[in-house]
Amino acid sequence: MKYPGRVIKQGERDARIVKALKTALNKALVLRGDEALQLDPDNPHFGPSMKRAVKLFQARHLDDQGLPLKIDGEVGSLTWSALFGAERVPQAEVVKNPFIAAVLAQAASQVGVMEVPRNSNRGPEVDAYLKRTGVPVGLAWCCAFTYWCFDEAALAAGRPNPMVKTAGCLAHWNKAPARGARRISVREATDNPALVQPGMVFIMDFGGGKGHTGFVERVEGGYVHTIEGNTDASQTREGGGVYRLQRKLGSINRGFIDYAGV
């Protein structure tokens, strides 16, 4: 069964989904000798016993990236994938909009750009990203990088740049709807990863006005593969280059911006 596009939790009323989950949980847990936890697939209710079984499954299994599952008794896309297989959760790697594909290609062309000197927020390419947004060099530059990619693609296509002209991640989030962009909240995205598509811009909020941003390159269920600036392999918001990274979709704690229809 394919992931239904929402988190399944205690109180779920879709008997077909509950039956499929109970059958899969029985198979996974009985094989480990937990017959006492066997669930009745013909009982259409997701109650406390089923929640305990989900928690036990989560405690004993890893997601498809080999990382621990969150033990919360709720079946989101990562737990669904662990139960039914990665092919049963949303996957997306093709950019459908030609202009957004060109923006993402610009981002990919910059992978490997590094600050010069190291940890300085400076360098020929980094300075160019910042100058394109009209702010002084030496500032944090992840959002300026996304704007530069949009602007380069717009110049090549001979069309206006749809992205908000800003070097501020949270300012981008706040102002994007006024430019006609669609926003997807983190809750909407974690409930239904199919809403997130390659070419979207992700926004993270670290509090105190600090944020981080980059592009979604592809989606694999509960994970997004990204291209982002001012980061490094540790996934920091103050790193030294443009990297390809992998993040849990739920870690994108503000949401996603979609310019495909602008």
What the chain holds in terms of domains, given with CATH numbers, is 15-89 (no CATH), 92-258 (3.90.1720)
Identify whether the C-beta of residue 110 lies closer than 8 Å to the C-beta of residue 149.
yes
User: Which residue is listed with tokens 């790697």?
Assistant: 93
Q: Is the dihedral of CA 116, 245, 183, 160 positive or negative?
A: positive
Strands 223-231 and 241-248: antiparallel
Instruction: Return the structure tokens found at 58.
Output: 């989560």
Q: For position 206, what pLDDT does the model report? A: 95
Q: Are 53 and 41 in contact (CB under 8 A)?
A: no
- What's the CA gap between 98 and 88, in Å, rounded? 28
pLDDT in tens, the chain (262 residues): 999 999 999 999 999 999 999 999 999 987 666 556 789 999 999 999 999 999 999 999 999 889 999 999 999 999 999 999 989 999 999 999 999 999 999 999 999 999 999 999 999 999 999 999 999 999 999 999 999 999 999 999 999 999 999 999 999 999 999 999 999 999 999 999 999 999 999 999 999 999 999 999 999 989 999 999 999 999 998 899 999 999 999 999 999 999 999 9
**DSSP class of residue 258?**
E
The Cα 44–Cα 46 span in angstroms is 7
Model's pTM, two decimal places? 0.91
Pairing of β 241-248 and β 255-258: unpaired
Residues, the chain: 262
In the chain, the amino acid numbered 161 is: N
Q: How far apart are CA 91 and CA 93, in angstroms?
A: 7
**pLDDT value at position 221?**
87
Please tell me what DSSP assigns to residue 66: S
Tokens (6 digits) for 103: 């923006």
What pLDDT is recorded for position 31? 60
Task: Give yes or no for a contact between 54 and 27, defined as CB atoms under 8 angstroms apart.
Answer: no
Residue 175 token pair = 């102002």
**R_g (Cα) of the chain, nearest Å:** 21
Strand partners, 183: 257
Distances 56 to 2, 4, 30, 63, 201 between C-alpha atoms, Å? 22, 22, 12, 14, 35
